[in-house]
Amino acid sequence: HPDDRDRIEAALQQETQGENFDQEYRYTRPNGENCWLRSQAFPIKNDTGDIVRVVGTVEDISDRKRVEDERKQTEAALRDSEERFRRAFDNAPIGMSLISLTGQFLKVNACYCNLVEYTEEELFKLTFQELTHPADLAEDVEGIRQMLVGEIRSFQMEKRYITKQGAIVPVLMNTAPISDLGGQPLYFVEHIQDIRDRLKVERMKDEFISVVSHELRTPLTSIRGSIGILESGIFNDRPEKAKQMLKIALNNSDRLVRLVNDILDLERLESGKVQLVMEQCQVASLMQQAIDGVQAIADQSAITLSLTSLSATLWAAPDAIIQALINLLSNALKFSSSGDTIWLTAEMQQGEAAEIESRTSKVRRNFKPNTQNSILFSITDQGRGIPADKLELIFEQFQQVDVSDSREKGGTGLGLAICKNIVQQHGGKIWVESTLGKGSTFCFALPLIG
Ligand code: ADP
C-alpha cells in the first residue's frame, strides 16, 4: 500500500543491517482488495557474521485490524460525545451541578459558580446543605427523601442559596436522581435558575395592582356614596343639595375615566404594545399644538403662556411628544396662580458639552444624552416648587408630593411616569429642577437622530 511503502522499505533496509523485522502493513491483492499483514523476520548469519538468509513469517491480521479499527472508532465517538456533553454542561446558561447522595458537590458549571460566588474548588469542599438557606432546608431534604424512595421522579422548588459573600439568592431548583443500570441512585443532577428579576417584577406587579385598586376604589366609593344618598330620597325636597351630590358623582366619574385612560396609556407604552411611529416633525408645530391644547384652561385661570419656539426638525412620534408637553404644561397650570406666567421653550444643545442652566434654581447641570446634538424642551412655572427629595420620585407611578394633590389638583400621579416613558422611548432624558416657593422647570432633551 503506497502509504506503508516508505516505512516498510526503511525497515527492510534495517534488516539487511542485521536487525529483526516486525511490521504490520497493507498489501494490495491482484483484485485490488487491501489486506493487513504482520511480517516478522530475522537474519541468519554465517560464521564470519555475514547475513546469508532471512527467515520469517507472514500472517494475515485483517480480522484483528478490523476489530481494532472498530474499537478506535467507537472510542473516538465516545470521546466526541463526552466532549460535547462536557461543553454543554460547562457552558449551559443555567447553573448545573452533580451532587452526591449525601449532598457533596461533585461537578459544577461556571454559571453555578457565578450564582453562588464560589469557585469550583471551593464548592467541591461544600455540601448543598451548607449553601441552602436554613429555612428552606427541611423542604429540600424531604424532596430528596421522596426521590430516593421512588415516590417522585424529580423535585422542583423555589429556594434560597446563600452566596460566599452572604447574599441571599432566590433560585428555581430542579433536581433528579441519576441511577445505575440496576436502578440504584448514584448522584443527583441539579439545575438552578436565578429568579431575582422574576420575583422583582412580581413584587412590582403586586404593588402596582394594590395601588391601582386603591386609586380606583377611592372615586368609586365617592360615586357610590353620592348616588346612594340621592337614591335614599333625603334630598328630594332640597334640589341644591341633590345637585351637589350629582356634582361629586360627576367629578369622580371624570377622575375615574382619567385614571383608567392614564393606566392604559402607561401600560401600552411600557409593554411596548404600541410602537411609537417616528417621523420628521417640526419642533415649532409640536409646541404650538401643545399650547393650543391647554390655552383654554390657562385663559380661564388668567395664566399667561409664553412660547419661545425653535425652527428645527425632530425625528419623533408627534402625538407622544405633544402628549408629554401637554402633561407638563397641565401640571404647571395646576400649580400656578392667576397672574402667573408659564414659559415653554425649546433650544438646540450642541454635542457633548450640552449644558443646561435652570432659569429658576440657577443650578448648572451637565447633561450628556450622548455625543449627538439634542433639542432641550423646558416648561417653567412660578408655582409652589418641589422639595429636593421628591425631584426624582415624582416620575414614578402614583408618586405625588402631597397626598392631597390628586384630590385637589385632579391628578392621577401617572402623568410624569407617562412623560418619562415617552422621552425614554425617544432615547432622551427627563428631569426637573425646582426651588420651593419659587417654581419648577421640567426639562427633557431628545437626541437629534437622522
Ligand atoms: P399628577 O397627575 O398627580 O399631576 P404627575 O405624575 O403628573 O401626576 O405628577 C406627580 C406629582 O408631581 C404631582 O402630584 C405633584 O405633586 C408634583 N408635580 C408635578 N408637576 C409639578 C409642578 N409643575 N409643580 C409642583 N409640583 C408638581
Q: Which of 396, 412, 248, 249 is nearest to 334 (CA)?
A: 412
* pLDDT value at residue 351: 63
C-beta of 317 in contact with ligand 1 (< 6 A)? no
Give the mean model confidence (pLDDT) for residues 272-294.
Answer: 90
Range in 100-104, 144-148, 257-261 the model is least confident about: 257-261
Q: Which residue is closest in CA terms to ligand 1's atom 11?
A: 400
Rounded distance from Cα 179 to ligand 1 centre (Å) = 64
HEC readout, 242-287: HHHHHHHHHHHHHHHHHHHHHHHHHHHHHHCCCCCCCEEEEHHHHH
Q: Which residue is closest in CA terms to ligand 1's atom 20?
A: 331
Rounded distance from Cα 308 to ligand 1 centre (Å) = 23
pLDDT tens figures, 28-47: 989 989 899 999 999 898 99
Rounded distance from Cα 223 to ligand 1 centre (Å) = 24
Q: Is the pLDDT of residue 310 over 70?
A: yes
**Separation between Cα atoms, residue 157 and residue 170, nearest integer Å:** 10
Rounded distance from Cα 217 to ligand 1 centre (Å) = 21
Give the mean model confidence (pLDDT) for residues 113-131.
Answer: 97
Give the mean model confidence (pLDDT) for residues 151-158.
Answer: 96
Q: Is the pLDDT of residue 450 over 70?
A: no
pLDDT tens figures, 177-189: 999 999 999 999 9
Give the mean model confidence (pLDDT) for residues 126-139.
Answer: 97
Q: Which residue is closest in CA terms to ligand 1's atom 7?
A: 415
CA of 411, closest atom in ligand 1: 2
Give the mean model confidence (pLDDT) for residues 164-193.
Answer: 96
Specify the length of the chain in residues. 450
C-beta of 39 in contact with ligand 1 (< 6 A)? no
Give the mean model confidence (pLDDT) for residues 78-107.
Answer: 95
pTM here is 0.57
C-beta of 395 in contact with ligand 1 (< 6 A)? no
Rounded distance from Cα 411 to ligand 1 centre (Å) = 7
Q: Is the pLDDT of residue 110 over 90?
A: yes
Confidence of residue 109 (pLDDT cuts 50, 70, 90): very high
**Separation between Cα atoms, residue 137 and residue 407, nearest integer Å:** 49
Rounded distance from Cα 273 to ligand 1 centre (Å) = 26
* pLDDT value at residue 7: 95
